[in-house]
Structure 1
């Protein structure tokens, strides 16, 4: 089974740059999209519906052309969930879950706090609120693959300029400590770090200062899996080229 996670920074924009022409080469079973930046009726058009896949979307209702997540799947899910029960989060179009038997695949777009203190405080509230949900998912006995842009780096290996970003959203000590809690205390597995313990690859680059050309990046896009799937992690790949977005698609193959 192959799963792709990709923050498209506008799915129509990524499509215009050839994303759906390139995608078949990955032979993915599921593709989780973040930041569709469109309403569902704008996405259900032939050029955004690749052959062989069913598509599911969750729009932002708070602001058109904002946020939004999607899942493309070759196999019809048994159930699709579009909300977690907190309107302030759900209505920004940040969560979509497809269930297949005992497997749940989630497309998640976690808030960024980079635009100012108000959004950073919202991000902190989301972290606090989401933790017991993650605990419930672990306790459920289901297998979870949580794909998405978490907007947080975890360690110095996950960001080029570690020291200079310590006071910036996405690299704050409180944010990184939260990932410590999930990965070390709770047992959730960072698929990339499990497969590449010494890896220093990135999935996002600022669009300023030739950051991408210089590979001055951050790894903020993850496939986080429940401990039950740890031994099924087979391989992974990040695709910084071709450039479809300021993020790179991230592929994981499961045994």
Structure 2
């Protein structure tokens, strides 16, 4: 199963830039999209019903803000939206597709900006951490894909010494990821197959992206520990430009494939 996660900064715009043609070339089975920035009813049929995919969407209560989507080749058994707390559900930040043995979610964390404080972001982290703990008690596997708006380790940040006081690499933000990949027991699927340095998914401008400088690895696929053995490939597709974030591809070879 090839899963691609991508923060698009506008789904309609990404489609106009050839998103779905590229996804077919990549033979993606599941595509997790964040920051759709549009209402479902405003999207053209080419985005709602792209060739080869079933599309599902979750939007916030405010127009042109946030929003997530998930596209699947195989029909899922169920679709779930929201995580049960206002910071997620009112802003359209989570959607999940359930298959026979695995559930795959697309999630968008808030970033510290004019609309959200650092406290908002940290509160969202804690709510999601509680959700992750609950999933570990369930008898099925999970993959959560999305923009977590935080880099974990120094290898995940360019010029990390200069970034320690910047949002996205604060100790408070990184402590959440320490919990996710530590006591809670989730796995950074990307790092199961790719140990390279300078593996970034976000850059503040085009020049930084071209030079692969000033980057952060904000975008993750995290999975329950039983799935780590099935990760066979992971890569960041830096040269495929749909937004300020790069697509993250992870391939899983499940036993029943």
TM-score above 0.5, yes or no: yes
Q: Which residue of 2 aligns with 1:78?
A: 77
1:10–1:36 Cα contact (<8 Å) kept: yes
**Quick one: which of 168, 171, 176 aligns to 2:174?**
176
Q: Which residue of 2 aligns with 1:187?
A: 185
- Give the CA deviation at 1:130: 1.7
Match of 1:223, SS state, is: strand
2:68–2:94 Cα contact (<8 Å) kept: yes
Q: Which residue of 1 aligns with 2:109?
A: 110
Matched residues, number: 252
Q: Which residue of 1 aligns with 2:135?
A: 137
Q: Distance in 1 between the 2:143 and 2:47 partners?
A: 27
**Quick one: which of 231, 234, 238 aligns to 1:233?**
231
| Structure 1: segments with no counterpart, 5+ residues | none
* Matching of residue 211 in structure 1 with residue 222 in structure 2: no
Q: Distance in 2 between the 1:231 and 1:37 partners?
A: 35
2:5–2:146 Cα contact (<8 Å) kept: yes
Cα shift readout 1:150-208 (whole Å, capped 9, x = no counterpart): 00000111111201111111100011111011102221100112212344311111127
- Give the CA deviation at 1:42: 1.8
TM-score by length of 2: 0.94
- Give the CA deviation at 1:44: 4.9
- Give the CA deviation at 1:243: 1.3
TM-score by length of 1: 0.94
Match of 2:119, SS state, is: helix
Q: Distance in 2 between the 1:243 and 1:88 partners?
A: 29
* RMSD of aligned alpha carbons: 1.5
Q: Distance in 2 between the 1:4 and 1:160 partners?
A: 23
1:21 and 1:48, CA in 2 relative to 1: closer, same or farther beyond 3 A?
farther
Q: Distance in 1 between the 2:139 and 2:47 partners?
A: 38
* Aligned 1:1-255 pairs, distance under 5 A: 1-47=1-47, 49-61=49-61, 63-115=62-114, 118-207=116-205, 210-216=207-213, 217-255=215-253
- Give the CA deviation at 1:21: 2.0
Q: Distance in 2 between the 1:68 and 1:47 partners?
A: 14
